[in-house]
Each structure stands twice: as structure tokens, then as C-alpha cells.
Amino acid sequence: MQPMVTDLTRRALLKKALGTAILLPAAGMLSACASAELAKEQLTMGQSTGTATGDRIIGCSRTADGRYAVVVADSHGRPIHQIALPERGHGVAIQPGGALAVAFARRPGAYMQAFYPATGEKQPLRRADQNRHYYGHGAFSADGRYLYATEGMSTTSEGVIGVYDTTAGLQKVAEYTGFGIGPHEVVLADPETLAVGVGGVHTLGREPLNLETMQPALVYLDIQSGKVVEKAVLSDKRLSIRHLAVTDTGDIACGQQYRGLPEQAAPLVHLHTRGGALRPLLADEEDWMRFNHYIASIASLDGYLLATSPRGNCYGIWREETGELVDLQPLTDASGVAVSQGQWLVGSGAGKILTRTPLRPGRIAQSAVMWDNHWKLLFS
């Protein structure tokens, strides 16, 4: 029953935020704002606002009228382009160089939407193949030619990495299988290797069916053949490995969803060095409980790791070398995080954008975009 209560609370917060969203003017943080009605007008589907310079935030969102979109915004969250999506989106992949980006449907997803961040123009919607669904994430090869998407076989949740050729209109040219059930996020560990967070959960729609037998793992696949070259597992099989990030040192950070009892705490973030074991980051049980059993986005900066929890309405910061938790702060519907110009940018489903460094609290701006769980940066 606990997840249902949490989801309803989150929806109520988002509904309130959608009704009070404001848009910052060009001058700095927390200054005089445009009205919610003006923000809504400026966020009409497909409309651009301004020609801001600097890094671009790209992420999926809810719109003020209850629909879904992927948004290209400036670093203050001011929308530049907004591309309509048929259903709720989740993760985004950006081609090296930024010419092409792809938004993925939330699992079990029926589509992925490719578009051009510079113009907001989109390619035809790519529907999932028969007996396949998308898990919400993908990553490009280092040369940008191939897109690797996490998928599943609809009847069994057997994991698939779909390989798509960008020079052939995202035609699927291969499938990698045999590495586990329920893959979620995939990242490029190095130019020759994919890292995949395998959740281990077989679902019917979003309903889990195998919590007693799930086998989560962090797997590394040869990018050319799809063969498993390394695998790391957790002793607690109820920790479903879901979200990944490559740290400054090349390690893989893993964010988990705990599928155990609601009253139990578990370490929700681990680090992995190739050839070693998964290492849990450290926090007291009551601190782990603040995250409400779920980690969304992760980003590494100057030897520190920031992880968000929309279900826990908070984010935490750890020192990577020691694993110690150095800060834990509230943030309503904390969602995407990325690094821009030596600082973290943290998004919120309530439209807030936090800018901070590891040891300084930073500042919060209010934007008109109701960000979903993840975003990526397109660097200027």
C-alpha cells in the first residue's frame, strides 16, 4: 500500500506545481517572475522562447495542460524548443556533438522520438517492434552512428539492447540478448563497452511478477558483439539496479529501487570499479529511508556524487572516495541532475532548478517546466 500513497502524494504535489509554475525573466535567480498564465502561453506545444546562449538542458516533462513533451531549455530552465510526445517520456540520449537527440517513453514504452535540438524539428516517431517494449533509456556510440536502447520482450521481460543505425533513419540492425531480465539504463562505459543496469524484474505492464526470484545485476557488454564481458551482483536480490552514471574516475555509479518491505532500509547507491565488487555508499538507515526506496538520476562532480529521489522528495551528496554522505536536502520531486560549468544543475517535477557545488548549498530558480526523472546537457 505504501507505493500507492507515495504516488498519490507526488501527483498532488505536481498538480499544485502545475498550477503555480512561473517563468524567470532574463535577470538572475529568484527575482520578479512572469505569471503562471504567461508561462502557460509561452509553453504552448512547439513554441520557442528566445535565443539564450550557454549549455542546454534537455529532458522530458509534463506540460501545463496535462500533456507530455521533451523540452530543450537554457540553463535557467527557460524553454527554447518543446516537442510533443504521445505519452509520458523518461530518459533522453544525445548524440556526441549534439546534432541528434532521442527521447524514450516511460517503461513499458511504445515509442522513441528522435529530434534535432538546434531547431526543435523531429523525425517520424519510432514505434517499438512487435513483442518489444522500451525501458526508457538509450546511449549513443562514441562516433554517434549507433544508438543502443534498452528493450524487453513483452511476454517475458527478457532483456534486449536494440542497436539502431542513425545513418539509416534509426533502422534496427541488431539485438543483444542473454544478459538478464528487465534492463533499464544503459551508458557507454568506454568506447568499446556498454554498461547496463539490469533490474531483474519481470512485469506485466508495470506490475512486478517475480519479486521472489529477481536477479538484478550490473553487466558490461562488448559493444561490437553484445557478449557479456563482466557482471557484478548485489547480495540483496531485492535491490533492483536501475539508473547509472559514469563518474569522473571512470567508475560506474548505480542507483537502485528497493523491492523489499516498506519498513526496511537498504543502500540505494553503489559504485563499481571494473574487476571489483559493487561498493555501497554509506548512510544511516533513517537517511536511506528518506529516499523512499528509489534513486532516479546520478551525476559525479569533483569526487562527489549527487543522487536524486522524486519519490523521497530529496537528494543526497556523497564523497566518492570514502562513501560518506555529506549532505541530504529536501527538494520536491527531485528529478534530473547534470554537471554544467563546474556545478550541478538539479531539476524538479515542481519546476525548480537547483544550482550548487559539492560543499556549497547553492540557489534555486523557478522555471515553467515540470521536469521528469532525467535530463541531459547539450554543451555550448
Residue 15 has pLDDT above 60, yes or no: no
Give me the mean pLDDT over the 255-261 stretch: 94
Query: What is the reported pLDDT for 50?
Result: 34
343-348, strands of its sheet edge to edge: 334-340, 343-348, 352-357, 360-366
C-alpha cell at 15: 498538480
Give me the mean pLDDT over the 326-341 stretch: 95
Whether 234 and 270 have beta carbons less than 8 Å apart is answered as yes
pLDDT in tens, 178-198: 999 999 999 999 999 999 999
pLDDT range class, residue 380, cuts 50, 70, 90: confident
CA distance 148 to 219: 14
Q: Percent of the chain having pLDDT more than 90?
A: 76
pLDDT in tens, 113-156: 999 999 999 999 999 999 999 999 999 999 999 999 999 999 99
CA distance 27 to 24: 8
C-alpha cell at 358: 559539492
Whether 93 and 108 have beta carbons less than 8 Å apart is answered as no
| Cα dihedral 227→233→237→243 (10° resolution) | -80
User: Which of the two residues, 303 and 66, has the higher pLDDT score?
Assistant: 303
Helix/strand/coil for 344: strand
In total, the chain counts a number of residues equal to 380
Query: What is the reported pLDDT for 29?
Result: 23
Q: Is 66 exposed, middle or buried (0-12, 13-18, 19+ CB in 10 A)?
A: exposed
pLDDT range class, residue 35, cuts 50, 70, 90: very low
Give me the mean pLDDT over the 248-265 stretch: 94
Q: Report how far apart the first and last C-alpha atoms of the chain are (Å, whole number).
A: 45
Give me the mean pLDDT over the 288-306 stretch: 97
Q: What is the pTM for the complete model shown? A: 0.86
Residue 31 has pLDDT above 70, yes or no: no
Whether 211 and 259 have beta carbons less than 8 Å apart is answered as yes
pLDDT in tens, 343-374: 999 999 999 999 999 999 889 999 989 999 89
CA distance 104 to 70: 10
Query: What is the reported pLDDT for 34?
Result: 27
Give me the mean pLDDT over the 104-116 stretch: 95
Mean pLDDT score across all residues of the chain: 86
Question: Residue 85 forms beta bridges with which residues?
Answer: 68
C-alpha cell at 98: 549534439
Give me the mean pLDDT over the 319-336 stretch: 96
